[in-house]
């Protein structure tokens, strides 16, 4: 049904393969557009966006330590550090 396609990255101009498996994933998720950047350029773009993200400090509602989060904490809403958040998520799934 799907066949590998060779596309050209709009960022660096290099060719990359849009595999049949990737196309199937895109179809399942109902994505309308094919990727326009190669994997390396996509990764570089994501890293640049993360590097420019403003981080906020709050007190962790779990352990009382410092939690750095990518959103402005609101009064009355608990904020958790990465470790406490991971523990909570694990407990919810288990």
pLDDT tens for residues 13-43?
A: 999 999 999 999 999 999 999 999 999 999 9
The answer, yes or no, to whether residue 62 has pLDDT greater than 80, is yes
Q: Is the pTM of this model over 0.85?
A: no
Asked whether the beta carbons of 19 and 7 are under 8 A apart, the reply is no
What is the Cα–Cα distance from 27 to 72, expressed in whole angstroms? 35
The answer, yes or no, to whether residue 84 has pLDDT greater than 80, is yes
Asked whether the beta carbons of 57 and 68 are under 8 A apart, the reply is yes
The answer, yes or no, to whether residue 49 has pLDDT greater than 80, is yes
């Amino acid at each position: 049904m799907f066949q590998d396609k060779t596309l050209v990255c709009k960022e660096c101009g290099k060719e990359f393969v849009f595999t049949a498996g990737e196309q199937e994933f895109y179809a399942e998720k109902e994505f309308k557009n094919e990727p326009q950047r190669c994997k390396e350029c996509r990764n570089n773009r994501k890293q640049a966006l993360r590097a420019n993200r403003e981080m906020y400090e709050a007190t962790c509602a779990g352990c009382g330590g410092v939690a750095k989060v990518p959103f402005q904490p609101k009064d009355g809403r608990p904020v958790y550090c990465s470790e406490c958040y991971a523990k909570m998520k694990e407990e919810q799934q288990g």
